[in-house]
């Protein structure tokens, strides 16, 4: 059987249980998986509170905690080029060769399909609940968020004073 | 009489009947016209679904269909620099020399006037109806849009599966 | 006693009485103050109508009018890098060495604190009233704004036809 | 027979007889040709003295003079992205769809081949003589250059005081 | 004893035996090591022939071949910002927190020292021989290079037709 | 008599006696002078070792030492846009309005003249000796440089360990 390497893209702001489930699911069907940390150059804004470096730590610690075999994974930050006609090429330039893309995001799917890739669906894993926007809002409003992310992620966000960073960002009138 | 070359700027997302009417109108008063395709580097986002290349095709095919003489026209994509203090210079750098600008857009008018250009109004040609934002919305909502654009444009958008691209963009939660 | 140089950051769109009060207040506690004009590369958009050059003029003329000693001040435009992880370094690269930061803006405070700076509060000086967003809105709606800025600023904005520029920007449908 | 659209890329600093011969040659084998003006954003430096706008004028006037049918041509300026992994996608985004590339330039050939395009050679047309670098040098050293470019190009360069611009650039100690 | 994470920066064009020796050496003195792939956005030019993705593959396969424990390593591509005053912050933003830097490169050392980091020397490991510039030259001139890189790297470069890419780049007259 | 504001552009790497003489000379013929610190975003490379902030300090301290009246001067860092067709507009956007330009640099002169400005020569002031490139070389080679710059500049460069920074840069093999 042919060796198969897949690609999974997210911003992981933060990395949550839905992301972890998706990676575990995909790894059952594939030899290796590239996890692209998108919009890697951004941090400290409302949509992207965490740096690429912080997100790499979250992902790796969550995968270790979940006993996912890191040898089958490539975790690669990719900065956003904002010119969507260039985006697939940028991802290709930052990553090992891949043949299959896993995504439910309509634009991601379309860009890869227009570039000739096969794009697979992901099962939904309670997408309503495990959604980064909601988790960020819960952090700001002192609602529950720690059960929506892997324990290792909650611990790490705590260590870097992440919730207060989000609260400061929410009150900022700077234009990002 | 002096040779007169005019300038007309648009994003043409998509090129519609109002744009075509404007070009035909301006060509009556002028020797040559430069049609600048603005924000040329963008595509696949809600405000700019089509690439510069696709917009060049739309414009040229619509003009051919309307028997407009291409010899009097220069169609030039110009990427946006986002620094408005530089924008007029960027347009000047990408285009042949021109003396008159045709625009109803308040900021475009102001930037060219502050740079010392004469800026002419365009007759309105049912601006309410022929407005790109509305046309894009109609595409997404399966309402009528094909009669608002030249036939050649409707055909071309169909060929490139443009309506589905817009629908995907509308559902995307990626930040553009 | 040790020589103390402070830093005060703003976009100054436009420079208003609250800014002037803040500078006068800080100068009482410090030897020299760097006034950073942020987002320096932007102009002619709704959030940033005035160029860096225009803002330098506003600030300097307002300070002269208020008899503030310019010898203790450094007025430095700094373009925005939009990558917040780089922003403090960018400010450091454009300015003389400083030890204290004065700001009430939550994100500015956090970025400097994460980089190890001491950040001081500013007294509020009627922040509700002297707020640039409100002043720009009042300009567009022909409401009072001239008493909210130093006289020299009002005169200068008048000279450069600033209110009409804001009105044009407000009506523009260009995407900034 | 299938409709065939080709692509020909150059910087055209300036457009010379070799370029004209190449275009005439390619048009014999193809239905339409896209002429991409590369490095479109540059001007006023030693390698790129002329703006994209000036180069568009040179090309169009030379083609008219040579009775080349403009209806089969698309002349499109494309700014350089400098990230070669993105370059083919950028060209694709700025142009109508094409199937064949014509180039003798090794990197251009490789980038298009790695992206899956068929790349054709161009006959050499005295490449030694008709080479832009040599022509620019001759301009600076008051040697013959006017016979190496189409008459219309020589006239246009004269009109815009192009030779003196090159001489100024050659003496500049600014870093480009 | 305190947990210690180090940083090692290179462009790895290509990854050679000297790099491998350096990593093995550093890992003896430290708990974890971040390997930063610098100038990550570049490829297909004379100084940077390989993409970030290709370099990640080279490094990982060479480390696997050498039985280096990947669990102690973070391999992170970081695009160059070209503004050296921002470079250390960019590296910090893309990586997990680190306390020690390993480098013999004078500018890298200076930038980290000016930012307050402890910078350690690396033993030289035949720097004269294992130098990327020399290896790239040897590739172009058909001289020996395969013994200067890990076997896995030589194999991979062969698979991607890397030597011919370098030869094409060497003959290109495009300005990078 | 009309109020006259001039413009003088330099990179000031470092600010030397020739620059000081030029400023003193120009101030005799003009009401106010804008001193533009060009290539403001660069530092820590061979052509641009000092940050914009460091250069502002050099200039201001040298002028104070020479008893030049700062009230007639505007010192403004301007980042380089590298697109020469945009450069004059960028300078205009960062500065107060000016009517006359003082420069001997051929490209600077041409760009301002093409934009319609009057450009004045500067007397040469021993240009052979007071040239930044030479001064930087002398620093690296331990030759005399301190008498070629104002005393305040020599002191400041000493304080920031500037000579060692230049020596490190000279030995670096990083590509700037």
pLDDT tens for each residue of C75-124: 999 999 889 999 999 999 999 999 999 999 999 999 999 999 999 998 87
| Cβ of residue A110 closer than 8 Å to a chain B Cβ | yes
What pLDDT is attached to residue F127?
62
Distance in angstroms (rounded) separating the CA atoms of residues E25 and E19? 10
Smallest Cα distance from D94 to chain B, Å: 4
- Of the candidates B52, B54, B93, the beta carbon closest to that of D53 is on B93
DSSP letter at C147 equals G
Exposure class string for E105-140: b at 16+ Cβ within 10 A, else e = bbbbbbbbeebebebbebeebeeeebebeebbebbb
In the predicted model, what is the mean pLDDT of residues F13-28?
95
In this prediction, residue B111 has a pLDDT band, given cuts at 50, 70 and 90, of: very high
Distance in angstroms (rounded) separating the CA atoms of residues E39 and C131? 42
Q: Residue B32 pLDDT > 60, yes or no?
A: yes
Which helix (DSSP H) or strand (DSSP E) does residue D9 occupy? strand D5-10
What pLDDT is attached to residue B173?
78
Q: Which residues of chain E have a CB within 8 Å of the CB of A97?
A: 53
- Of the candidates C47, C108, C110, the beta carbon closest to that of A165 is on C110
CA neighbours closer than 13 Å in the CB half-sphere of residue C165: 25
In the predicted model, what is the mean pLDDT of residues D58-79?
97
Going by C-alpha positions, the residue among E13, E17, E82 that lies closest to residue E43 is E13
D119 within 8 A of D112, measured Cβ to Cβ: yes
In the predicted model, what is the mean pLDDT of residues E139-161?
97
| Strand ranges in chain B using DSSP code E only, listed in sequence order | 5-10, 32-37, 73-77, 100-102, 118-120
Which helix (DSSP H) or strand (DSSP E) does residue F113 occupy? helix F106-114
Per residue in F34-84, pLDDT (tens digit) is: 999 999 999 999 999 999 999 999 999 999 999 999 999 999 999 998 899
Q: Residue B174 pLDDT > 80, yes or no?
A: no
Q: Which residues of chain D have a CB within 8 Å of the CB of A88?
A: 89
Say whether B137 sits in a helix, a strand or coil.
helix
Going by C-alpha positions, the residue among E122, E109, E116, E106 that lies closest to residue E33 is E122
In this prediction, residue D127 has a pLDDT band, given cuts at 50, 70 and 90, of: low
Going by C-alpha positions, the residue among C97, C94, C98 that lies closest to residue C119 is C98
What pLDDT is attached to residue F159?
97
What pLDDT is attached to residue F126?
58
The mean pLDDT value of chain B amounts to 94
Residue F107 and residue D51: Cβ atoms within 8 Å?
no
Q: Residue C175 pLDDT > 80, yes or no?
A: no
With a pLDDT cut of 90, the percent of chain B lying above it is 86
Cα dihedral: D19, D25, D27, D33 (round 10): -40
Going by C-alpha positions, the residue among E136, E159, E160, E128 that lies closest to residue E47 is E136
Smallest Cα distance from A54 to chain B, Å: 20
Q: Residue C63 pLDDT > 70, yes or no?
A: yes
| Cβ of residue C83 closer than 8 Å to a chain E Cβ | yes
Distance in angstroms (rounded) separating the CA atoms of residues E38 and F175? 11
Hey, which residues 2-61 in chain C have their CB within 8 Å of chain B?
41-45, 51
Residue A93 and residue E56: Cβ atoms within 8 Å?
no
D74 within 8 A of B56, measured Cβ to Cβ: yes
Distance in angstroms (rounded) separating the CA atoms of residues E143 and B152? 58
Q: Two tokens at A82?
A: 């904002």
Going by C-alpha positions, the residue among C108, C107, C83 that lies closest to residue E90 is C83
Q: Residue B125 pLDDT > 70, yes or no?
A: no
Distance in angstroms (rounded) separating the CA atoms of residues A110 and A117? 10
In this prediction, residue C146 has a pLDDT band, given cuts at 50, 70 and 90, of: very high
Residue F89 and residue B93: Cβ atoms within 8 Å?
no
| Cβ of residue E81 closer than 8 Å to a chain C Cβ | yes
| Cβ of residue D92 closer than 8 Å to a chain A Cβ | yes
Q: F: neighbours with 3+ CB pairs under 8 Å? A: B, C, D, E
How many CB atoms are closer than 10 A to CB E169? Answer: 22
Which pairs with CB-CB distance under 8 Å and at least 24 residues apart come from E100-104? Answer: E100/E4, E100/E5, E100/E6, E100/E7, E100/E30, E101/E6, E101/E7, E101/E8, E101/E9, E102/E6, E102/E7, E102/E8, E102/E22, E102/E26, E103/E8, E103/E9
Q: Two tokens at F49?
A: 């070792």
- Domain span at residue C17? 5-171
Q: Which residues of chain C have a CB within 8 Å of the CB of B111?
A: 44
What pLDDT is attached to residue E5?
97
Residues of chain A with pLDDT below 70 are 1, 125-129, 175-176
For C49, name the nearest residue in chain B, comparing CA atoms only.
Answer: B84
Q: A: neighbours with 3+ CB pairs under 8 Å? A: B, C, D, E
F176 in any annotated domain: no
| Cβ of residue A97 closer than 8 Å to a chain D Cβ | no
Residue A84 and residue B45: Cβ atoms within 8 Å?
yes
**Chains D and C touch, using 3 or more CB pairs below 8 Å:** no
Smallest Cα distance from D77 to chain B, Å: 7
The mean pLDDT value of chain E amounts to 94
Q: Which residues of chain B have a CB within 8 Å of the CB of A111?
A: 44
In this prediction, residue B129 has a pLDDT band, given cuts at 50, 70 and 90, of: low
CA neighbours closer than 13 Å in the CB half-sphere of residue A12: 32
With a pLDDT cut of 70, the percent of chain B lying above it is 95
Q: Residue E33 pLDDT > 90, yes or no?
A: yes
Is residue B39 left, alpha or beta, with left meaning phi > 0 and alpha meaning psi from -120 to 50? left
What pLDDT is attached to residue E82?
83
Residue A88 and residue D89: Cβ atoms within 8 Å?
yes
Which helix (DSSP H) or strand (DSSP E) does residue D6 occupy? strand D5-10
B109 in any annotated domain: yes
C176 in any annotated domain: no
Residue F92 and residue B83: Cβ atoms within 8 Å?
no
With a pLDDT cut of 70, the percent of chain E lying above it is 95
Say whether A6 sits in a helix, a strand or coil.
strand
E47 in any annotated domain: yes
Q: Two tokens at C128?
A: 């509700």
Strands E73-77 and E32-37 turn out to be parallel
- CATH classification of the domain holding F164: 3.40.50.620
Residue C71 and residue F76: Cβ atoms within 8 Å?
no
In this prediction, residue F173 has a pLDDT band, given cuts at 50, 70 and 90, of: confident
What pLDDT is attached to residue A125?
65
Distance in angstroms (rounded) separating the CA atoms of residues D136 and E173? 15
- Of the candidates A54, A79, A93, the beta carbon closest to that of E53 is on A93
∠D166-D172-D175 over CA atoms, to 5°?
A: 110
Distance in angstroms (rounded) separating the CA atoms of residues C124 and B51? 48
E176 in any annotated domain: no
For D79, name the nearest residue in chain F, comparing CA atoms only.
Answer: F83
E11 within 8 A of E102, measured Cβ to Cβ: no
The mean pLDDT value of chain F amounts to 94
Query: Structurally, how many domains does chain F consist of?
Result: 1
∠C161-C164-C168 over CA atoms, to 5°?
A: 135
Distance in angstroms (rounded) separating the CA atoms of residues D51 and E125? 49
Residue F93 and residue B83: Cβ atoms within 8 Å?
yes
What pLDDT is attached to residue C174?
77
Residue with tokens 């260039």: A86
Radius of gyration of chain E (CA): 16
Sign of CA dihedral E89, E93, E97, E98: negative
The mean pLDDT value of chain C amounts to 94
B36 in any annotated domain: yes
C-alpha C32: how far from chain center: 17
Residue B90 and residue F86: Cβ atoms within 8 Å?
yes
Per residue in B2-27, pLDDT (tens digit) is: 899 999 999 999 999 999 999 999 99
Exposure class string for D66-76: b at 16+ Cβ within 10 A, else e = eebeeeebbbb
CB pairs under 8 A between C and F: 54
Distance in angstroms (rounded) separating the CA atoms of residues E168 and E171? 5
Distance in angstroms (rounded) separating the CA atoms of residues A150 and F62? 58
| Cβ of residue A81 closer than 8 Å to a chain E Cβ | no
Which of C154-158, E171-175, F143-147 is least confident? Answer: E171-175
What pLDDT is attached to residue C123?
83
B176 in any annotated domain: no
DSSP letter at C74 equals E
Going by C-alpha positions, the residue among F75, A39, A175, B176 that lies closest to residue C39 is A175
Q: Please provide the DSSP assignment of D29-86 as one string.
A: T-SEEEEEE-STT--SSSS--S-HHHHHHHHHHHHHHTT--GGGEEEEE----S-HHH
Say whether F174 sits in a helix, a strand or coil.
coil
Strands C32-37 and E118-120 turn out to be unpaired
Alpha-helical segments (H) within C7-150: 17-27, 52-65, 84-94, 106-114, 132-140
Residue B86 and residue F89: Cβ atoms within 8 Å?
yes
What pLDDT is attached to residue A173?
78
Going by C-alpha positions, the residue among C77, C63, C56 that lies closest to residue C151 is C63
In the predicted model, what is the mean pLDDT of residues B57-79?
97
Interface test mutation site (partner B, options F86, F92, F114, max chain B beta carbons within 10 A) = F86
What pLDDT is attached to residue C82?
83
Go through chain A and tell me how many residues it has. Answer: 176
- Of the candidates E41, E51, E174, the beta carbon closest to that of D107 is on E174
In this prediction, residue F176 has a pLDDT band, given cuts at 50, 70 and 90, of: low
B82 in any annotated domain: yes
Q: B: neighbours with 3+ CB pairs under 8 Å? A: A, C, D, F
C-alpha D141: how far from chain center: 23
**Chains F and A touch, using 3 or more CB pairs below 8 Å:** no
Query: What pTM, to 2 d.p., does this model score?
Result: 0.94
**Chains C and B touch, using 3 or more CB pairs below 8 Å:** yes
Distance in angstroms (rounded) separating the CA atoms of residues C160 and C141? 18
F40 within 8 A of F12, measured Cβ to Cβ: no
């Amino acid at each position: 059987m042919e060796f198969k390497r897949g690609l999974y893209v997210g911003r992981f702001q933060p990395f949550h249980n839905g992301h972890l489930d998706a990676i575990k699911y995909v790894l059952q069907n594939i030899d290796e998986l590239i996890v692209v940390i998108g919009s890697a150059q951004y941090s400290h804004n409302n949509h992207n509170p965490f740096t690429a470096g912080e997100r790499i730590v979250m992902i790796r610690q969550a995968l270790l905690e979940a006993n996912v075999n890191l040898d089958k994974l490539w975790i690669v930050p990719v900065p956003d080029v904002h010119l969507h006609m260039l985006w697939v090429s940028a991802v290709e330039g930052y990553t090992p060769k891949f043949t299959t893309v896993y995504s439910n995001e309509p634009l991601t799917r379309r860009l890869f399909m227009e570039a000739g890739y096969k794009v697979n669906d992901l099962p939904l894993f309670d997408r309503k609940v495990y959604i980064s926007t909601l988790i960020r809002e819960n952090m700001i409003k002192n609602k529950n968020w720690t059960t929506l992310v892997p324990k290792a992620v909650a611990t790490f966000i705590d260590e870097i004073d992440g919730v207060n960073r989000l609260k400061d960002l929410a009150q900022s009138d700077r234009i990002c």
